Structure 1
C-alpha cells in the first residue's frame, strides 16, 4: 500500500479553520429579499433568493437562510455552497454556530479540495477541537482511489484519521476491506483492526486479523494472516509485506497449501518473491503429499516452490539433509527436484531408497508416480541394489543403470539392469536352507520380486556365472565392491514429520477408509462391497474393489 493511497484521505478530511473562519468573527450577509422574523422571543433574519454570507475569507451561497445575529448562528437551505480558496462544499442544509465553532452540513454533502471529493449525508466540524466527522456512510474519491466507510473522524491537531465499519479502499493495484482503519499523517503508519482482507490486482490476497501499514516504506505487518499466491494459500502467526520489493513473508507455524495438488508445506518461515514466482520455506520445512494409499512426507533444511507459466516447469526443490517417508518406501539424499506436472521426483547427491527389505543407491534416482502410486524408479550410474532374503543374507546387484517397476500397491515387481551388471545371489532351498551363491557378470539382467523380496533373476547377453557352494564360500566373497548396508540411516516417520511419535504410522487402511467414505457419499451402491471389505480389514481386496468400482461409477457432470 503506497503512501499516497492514505495521505489523500487525510487531505480530504482536513477542514482548515480558514474555511469556517474563526470563533467569534461576525457574519456578514446579503440577499434579494430580507425580512425580520420571530420564533417566540428569538428574533432572526429571514433571507430569500441569492443569499450570500461572508466571514473572513469564507463565502456561503444558498437559496434561503435564517440568521440569528445575537447568537452569531445561521441556517442555510437549498443549494448550499461554501467556497474558500481551493475548497468547495455543497449540501442541502447548513447549520453554522459561529460562537461555538460548529458547522453541521446535511443531505447530499459534497466536499471538494482539488481532485479530492468526499460524499456523505452528514458532515460535522468543530473548529474548537479541530475534529471533523462524517456519519451514516461516507465516500472519499480522487482520480485513482475510492474509500468508503460508515463513519469517519479526523483529528486535525494530532493529524489522525479514523474510519469505522465496512471500510473499503479501492485502489488501482488492490482492494482493502476492514472493520476499522486508522491513519497518522505524522508517522505515516496506518492500522487496521478486526478482519482485514486485501486483494491485489495480480491475484495475490491477504486475509488477516488486523494489520500495520508503514506507508512511507510500503511495508505492512499482519497478525495471524493468510496470503493467497498463484499456487498456494500461506498462513502464519505473522505476515510481513514489502510492496516495493514485492516480497511477502510469513513467520511462525507457517502452512503453505497447494491450490492444485494435495500438497502441504510446513515450516517456521516462508518468503514469497512475487516478481520471481519463488516461495522459499525455512526452519526444517516438511512437505506432505496426500496420496491415494498413504501420505508422502519429505523434510529438508530448505524448500523452494517455483511458479512458471509453463506448467511442466513448475517444481518444488529441496536442499540438504533430506529425509523421505512413505509407508512402503523411505529415502534420503541432499537435494531433490519434484516436478508437479508429471509427479516425478529426482534425487541427487548420495541418494538412498529403502523399499521393504531392499536398499537402492546410485548417483541419482528418479521416482515416477502415476495416480499417486509409485510406478517406476530409475537409478542412473553406479546403481547398487541390496535385498535381504528370508535368511537375512544380502543379495546384491550393481550396474550402470537400473529401472524398477512397481505394482498398484506400490510394491516392487521387477528391476532391469543395463550395463556392467554384476550379481551376488544366494540360492535357497525353500525359505530356510542356503545351497550356495551365484556370482554372475552380465550386461543385462532382470530381477523379479515377490512380496518385496527378490525371487529370481533372468540373465541376458552372454552371462559369466560361477556357483559357489556353502563350504567353499568365504566371507569376503559374499560382498561386492562398494557394498554398504545403511539400515541405520533409514528414517522413521517421527524423524521426518516431527509432530509424530515413535511407533506412529500413517497406514494404508487409514487412507483406504478415507477414500471409501468419499466414494460412499457420492455412490453408495457402487461401493457397497468395498465398505464390507473394509470391515474385514483386508487391504488388498479393498484396493481391488476400489479399482474395479471406479470405471463403473457415474461420470460427474
Structure 2
C-alpha cells in the first residue's frame, strides 16, 4: 500500500502517520475494553509436594524411568489441595503424577474428588479422573467414569455419561460440566432431570444447584402426574414447581391442552397463564378457546380469556364460533358428582355457525340446565328467519337445540322467497321448539300481532296478506315448512296482494338487522351496532306487590324492576 503526500508542507507526512497510529491505538483500546475478562491460563510455579509414601523407589530401566514409584498411603499437596491414593508415579520434572487406587482429592472443606485412577498436571492445575468418579461439592454429587477437573476455573467436565444428585433431584446426561464457583451445570445429549414429583427430558439443560432452577433449550418434555409440558425454551423451578415456558409451549392435563407463545404454570396452585396465540382445547367437551391472554386455575375450575377471544364448539357437525371482549368460566361443586360450570361472554358478543348466527351484548351459559341466556338487544338468525327480544334463552339437549324462549318485545321475522315481503310475529314472549335441531313449532303469548302471506302450493305465488291480533298463537312446522296455525280467538283481515294498505306491510316494531348479521367465522371480530332509533325501547315493568308488616299492620308495596335491580350484585 502506497501513501502519497500531496501536502507540500514540512510535516504533512508525519501528520498522516500520527493519525493512523492514534486510530490504531484507539481501536486496540476499544477492543481491550470489549474483551471479556477471563482468568488467564498461565503455568503455576508452585511445585507439587510429596507429603508421604510408605515405599519410594526408582525403576531406571523399566517403563517409567523418569518417575518416582510410590506405594502405600501416598499423599501430595498442591495449592491448597491434598491428594491421596494407594500408589503413584510422581514426575517431578513435569510437576505431575499418576495416582492409582482409592484416589482422593480434597480442596478446602467444600470439595472432594474420588476415583480409581487420576492424572494430575500441577502446572495447568488439571485433574483427569477415571473409573467410579465422584465429585462432591457442598450438597451436590456428580457420578461418572470420566471427569476432567480444571482447578484454575473450578469446572468439572464429564463426557462418557454422568449423574448429578442434589437434595431433591437426579440429573443424567451423556455429557456435561459443573462450575464449582457459580454452582451452575450444563448438560447435553439425552438429558433427564427427575425427582419425586416430575420427570424432565431434553437435549440441553442449564441447571443452577443454588436455586434448583432448570433452563431447557431445544425440544423438551416435563411430566408431572397427569400434567405434560412440551417446550423448546423454558425455565422450571424444581423447588417451587413453577414453569416459565417460551417458544410455543404446550401444557396438557386431564384431557385439556393449553398452547401459547409463552406459558407460565404453577404446579402447587394449579394456575397457568398464556400469552399470544393461545389455544385451549377441551377434548372431552369438544370445545376450543383461542385468545392472546388466558388465565386458568385448574384446581378451582376458573378461567379468563381476553384479547381476540374466540370460543369454538365442535360437538356438532359444524363448528360454532363465539367472540366477545372477555370470556370467563366458573366451576361449582367441583369435588362432587354435581359439578357444573357457567360461561360468561360479555361486551360485543358475536356468534357464527353455518346454520345459525347471533349477536348480543352479553351471554351466560349454564351447564347445569344446559341453558344459554343472551342479554341486551339479542338477535339470532336461522336461514331467512330472524328472532329478537329483550332476553333470549336457548336450551340444549345432548349438545343440540331443544327449545328457545324470547322474553319481552319478542319479534320473529322471515324473509320470503321474493326477497321483498316478510312473515312477522310480535308478542310479549315467544317459544320455539326443536327436534334433533330442526324447528317443529313456535308459540307466541301476550299481545300477539301477526303479518302472514299465504302461498299458493301450485306456483308458490303470494296469495295475499293476513293480519290478525290474538292472545296466543301456535304454529306447527315440518321440514321447515308451515303446516298449520292455531289461535283460541282472534280478529283479523285478509288483503289481496293488490289491496294491501301500506301500514299493514310491517308491524309497528318490525326491524330487519341483516346488516348486523355475521357472514362468516372471520366476521365475528367486526362489531356493527344497530342504527340510531332501531334499538329496543326501555320498558319499565312493575313486579307483584310485596307485603310488609309495619306497626302490626300488613301493607303492600309495589317494587319496580329498576328498584329490584339495585339489590343485585354486579355480574361483571
Which residue matches 1:364?
391
Shift in CA distance, 205/31, structure 1 to aligned 2, threshold 3 Å? same
With normalisation by structure 2, the TM-score equals 0.72
- Are the equivalent residues in 2 in contact too, given 1:387–1:454 (CA < 8 A)? no
Q: Distance in 2 between matches of 1:340 and 1:148?
A: 47
Shift in CA distance, 81/40, structure 1 to aligned 2, threshold 3 Å? closer
- Are the equivalent residues in 2 in contact too, given 1:421–1:445 (CA < 8 A)? no
Q: Which of 471, 480, 488 pairs up with 1:452?
A: 480
- Are the equivalent residues in 2 in contact too, given 1:132–1:155 (CA < 8 A)? yes
1:412 is the counterpart of 2:439 = yes
* Correspondence list, 1:314-329, <5 A: 314-329=341-356
Higher relative contact order (CA 8 A, sep 6+): 1
Which residue matches 2:450?
424
Provide the aligned length of Structure 1 versus Structure 2.
Answer: 474
* Correspondence list, 1:129-528, <5 A: 129-154=153-178, 161-171=185-195, 174-182=198-206, 191-200=215-224, 203-211=226-234, 220-230=244-254, 232-239=256-263, 248-273=272-297, 276-306=300-330, 309=334, 312-339=339-366, 344-389=371-416, 392-408=420-436, 410-417=437-444, 419-426=445-452, 428=454, 430=456, 431-442=460-471, 444-460=472-488, 463-470=489-496, 474-496=501-523
Shift in CA distance, 142/131, structure 1 to aligned 2, threshold 3 Å? closer
Shift in CA distance, 320/71, structure 1 to aligned 2, threshold 3 Å? same
Quote how far apart the aligned CAs of 1:332 are: 0.9
Q: Distance in 2 between matches of 1:122 and 1:261?
A: 53
Quote how far apart the aligned CAs of 1:219 are: 6.9
Quote how far apart the aligned CAs of 1:89 are: 2.7
Higher helix share: 1
Shift in CA distance, 466/282, structure 1 to aligned 2, threshold 3 Å? same
Shift in CA distance, 130/56, structure 1 to aligned 2, threshold 3 Å? closer
Q: Distance in 2 between matches of 1:216 and 1:69?
A: 48
More moved, 356-365 vs 184-193? 184-193
Quote how far apart the aligned CAs of 1:297 are: 1.9
Give the SS at the match of 2:515: helix
Shift in CA distance, 189/86, structure 1 to aligned 2, threshold 3 Å? closer
Q: Distance in 2 between matches of 1:457 and 1:24?
A: 110
Which residue matches 2:103?
80
1:27 is the counterpart of 2:49 = yes
Which residue matches 2:13?
none
- Are the equivalent residues in 2 in contact too, given 1:49–1:64 (CA < 8 A)? yes
Quote how far apart the aligned CAs of 1:141 are: 1.4
Which residue matches 1:518?
none
Which residue matches 1:91?
115
- Are the equivalent residues in 1 in contact too, given 2:262–2:276 (CA < 8 A)? yes
Give the SS at the match of 2:503: helix
Quote how far apart the aligned CAs of 1:103 are: 0.7
Give the SS at the match of 2:46: coil
Structure 1 alignment gaps of length 5 or more: 1-16, 500-557
1:111-138 deviations in whole A, cap 9, x for unaligned? 2234322211111112345432122222
Give the SS at the match of 1:163: strand
Quote how far apart the aligned CAs of 1:88 are: 3.1
- Are the equivalent residues in 2 in contact too, given 1:298–1:496 (CA < 8 A)? no
Give the SS at the match of 1:267: strand
- Are the equivalent residues in 1 in contact too, given 2:161–2:175 (CA < 8 A)? yes
- Are the equivalent residues in 1 in contact too, given 2:426–2:450 (CA < 8 A)? no
1:44 is the counterpart of 2:67 = yes
Q: Distance in 2 between matches of 1:239 and 1:250?
A: 5
Shift in CA distance, 109/188, structure 1 to aligned 2, threshold 3 Å? closer
With normalisation by structure 1, the TM-score equals 0.73
**Larger Rg over CA atoms:** 2
More moved, 327-336 vs 204-213? 204-213
- Are the equivalent residues in 1 in contact too, given 2:351–2:524 (CA < 8 A)? no
Q: Which of 74, 78, 81 pairs up with 1:58?
A: 81
Q: Distance in 1 between matches of 2:65 and 2:491?
A: 125
1:510-549 deviations in whole A, cap 9, x for unaligned? xxxxxxxxxxxxxxxxxxxxxxxxxxxxxxxxxxxxxxxx
Shift in CA distance, 354/312, structure 1 to aligned 2, threshold 3 Å? farther
- Are the equivalent residues in 2 in contact too, given 1:286–1:299 (CA < 8 A)? yes
Give the SS at the match of 1:314: strand
Root mean square deviation, CA, Å:
3.8
